[in-house]
A and B are shown apart, each in its own frame.
Chain A
Amino acid sequence: MSTTDKKFPRTEADSGSSWDAIGNADYDDSHYDKATDLKDETSSFLILTNFGFTTSDVPVGSTITGIEVEIMRYVYRLSGLATVITDNTVQLINGAGTPVGDNKASGLSWPLDFASEALASYGDPSDNWSASLTASDIIDSDFGFRLAVTESGSKCGTPSIEYVKIRITYTVAGGGSIKKLSGVAWASVKKVLKVAEASLKKVAGVVAN
Chain B
Amino acid sequence: MKFTLKTLFSKFVSTIISENACQGGAIDWCKKTDREGLTFGEAIEMYLADDEAKSGWAVWNLIKFDSDFNGDVKKGFIKKIKDPMTALQLFRRLKHLTEEEDNILKNKFEGKLPRAEKELKDGVIRREKEKKNVNY
Using a CB–CB cutoff of 8 Å, the interface residues on chain A facing chain B are 39-42, 84, 86-89, 102-108, 122, 150, 152-154
Contact = CB atoms under 8 A, between A and B. Distances in A.
Interface string B98-136: 000000000000001111100110001100000000000
A43 B125 CA distance: 22
B96 interface: no
Given A42-B83, A88-B83, A105 B115 contact: yes
A102 B114 CA distance: 7
Interface of B: 22, 54, 56-57, 59-60, 63-64, 83-86, 88-90, 92-93, 112-116, 119-120, 124-125
Contacts of A41: 54, 56
Contacts of B124: 107-108
Contacts of A88: 83, 85-86
18 contacts: A40-B54, A40-B56, A40-B60, A41-B56, A42-B85, A88-B85, A103-B84, A103-B113, A103-B114, A104-B114, A105-B113, A106-B115, A107-B85, A107-B113, A108-B119, A150-B89, A152-B89, A154-B59
Contacts, number: 66
A87 B85 contact: yes
A150 B115 contact: no
A103 B112 contact: yes
A105 B85 contact: yes
Given A107-B115, A107-B125, 19 more contacts: A40-B59, A41-B54, A88-B83, A89-B85, A102-B115, A103-B84, A105-B113, A106-B115, A107-B113, A107-B116, A107-B119, A108-B124, A150-B86, A152-B86, A152-B89, A152-B90, A154-B59, A154-B60, A154-B63
